Structure 1
């Protein structure tokens, strides 16, 4: 299993330990179903036309379907690029929370660890007053500047995201 899958499993195990009755909607196969089942969850599965490694188009398609389904939270594994894709498709309609599993995680939508992301998701979904929704920055590095030897982060927007100061990244 890839690193992202291992980290997602840690978050889901923590989520279900705190909130065993949680309903999970995910994408078939490697985009979520396999990890959910590994974590002991029987998810509702979206069957999209992904034929291999997931792309940003696959992410956007999944997010669009989840928004249409009326999910309460989009919990995702990835990095800043994935957060950008989710923000662009969700249109701020649904709070998002990232499981840190990418190459770059400069955005404020991520939990500090995979387990903390799962814990924060459980707090938010259970209605705990300690998990407030905030407008969190979605950032990404300028890849062209990075390749040229300069580090420059760009703000792509703000997304509603659960927050608890010990569990969420402050960017």
Structure 2
């Protein structure tokens, strides 16, 4: 077990296996654990507890799932490929207010969880093309611009989450 200390000061105790997808946590654990079997605290001051709990929910669902091949690909990805390989659970998970998708994307970027980051980017690109710029730009200062997100994909998704 490991304890995660968030930006808002909350301590969340988590089974370390649940966070195996995070490259940041993997590296922190490699250097941070003093003795086996004991809990230790990882400072995650770049993420709020609410966002971390949502990411942990996502990680719990995907525990033991193989990462889709499109996650590891560099360069633009066909939106249809991502759409076909995205589970209904993930689509429902991201059926939240767009601000929450931004927060999840920021958190997954902070924790270096590429799979969730790319899912959020796809959702944001689709949303940015459907919503007025003024509504979309409220949160856009937090993460890469929609143009940067669009460079991840070669086409627009054909179905909304």
On whether the aligned pair clears a TM of 0.5, the verdict is no
The alignment's TM-score, normalised by the length of structure 2, stands at 0.28
Larger radius of gyration: 2
Q: TM-score, normalised by structure 1?
A: 0.27
